[in-house]
Amino acid sequence: VPVVRVSNLTMSLDGYVAGPQQSLEHPLGIGAEHLHDWAFATNAFRQAHDMDGGDTGLDDGFAARGAHGVGAEIMGRNKFGPVRGPWPDDGWRGWWGDEPPFHTPVFVLTHYPREPIEMAGGTTFFFVTEGIEAALEQARDAAGEFDVAIGGGAMTVREYLEADLVDQMHLAVVPQLLGRGTRLFEGIDVSGRFDFEPVQASSAVAHFVMRRR
């Protein structure tokens, strides 16, 4: 049965999933440049970005499973890019170059309509203005027998958690202190909703996996 899941969402020990002042120069906000180093070091990530090598241990397994079996992704507009407000033109086509690493339909939550963008390698960006439930319905249709990934950012994951629409979530906690930024767990209370798998960790990151009860 396909599920709705969050994978490889990385959080600092003090609870931040992004730093402050996200921008073109600082896609993850200031001070968060090394938040995802554990993922960049994996073979799965490097392969997805046409590079060789990388670690093949525990962290690689998590990185690989994050993408495996996903038939569609949903992301917030702030993950798609630094542009805010109405789309000024069709210039911004995501952070990921001509061939983004998704290879599936990607549904971008926005208040401003925009025509779909078909990229190389199977990724098409669709822009959804009708809210998170409509986006999920479209993503489920597109994914068919595969899972729907909630790709982030924090606000988007929080909204789906609040609406109790997330079946599984994998959080990666890294030994870093950001001090400021965007928290995942801010103003939401999802206690009692999830069971946890046994904790696993490499020297670089602790993996927490929860499933909806």
Footprint of a second copy on residues 12-51 (CB under 8 A)? 13-15, 31
Is 166 a binding residue for a second copy by CB under 8 A? The answer is no
By CB under 8 A, name the one of 70, 201, 211, 212 that touches a second copy: 201
202 scored as a contact of a second copy (CB under 8 A): yes
Does residue 187 interact with a second copy by CB under 8 A?
A: no
Taking the C-alpha atoms of residue 175 and residue 205, their distance in angstroms, rounded to an integer, is 7
Q: Number of residues in contact with a second copy, rule: CB under 8 A?
A: 35
Shortest CB 168 distance to a second copy, Å: 14
Asked whether 160 and 166 are in contact (CB, 8 A), the reply is yes
Please provide the DSSP assignment of 105-170 as one string. EEEEE-SS----EE-GGG-EEEEE-S-HHHHHHHHHHHHTTSEEEEEE-HHHHHHHHHTT--SEEE
By CB under 8 A, is residue 117 in contact with a second copy?
A: no
- Residue 181 CB, shortest distance to a second copy, in Å, is 10
The reply to whether 196 sits near a second copy by the rule CB under 8 A is yes
Q: Is 204 exposed, middle or buried (0-12, 13-18, 19+ CB in 10 A)?
A: middle
For helices 154-162 and 132-143, the axis angle rounded to 10 degrees is 90
Among 51, 120, 163, 177, binds a second copy (CB under 8 A): 177
Q: Is 163 in the site for a second copy (CB under 8 A)?
A: no
Residue 155 is a binding residue for a second copy (CB under 8 A): no
Residues that bind a second copy (CB under 8 A): 13-15, 31, 171, 173, 175-180, 183-185, 188-194, 196-206, 208, 210
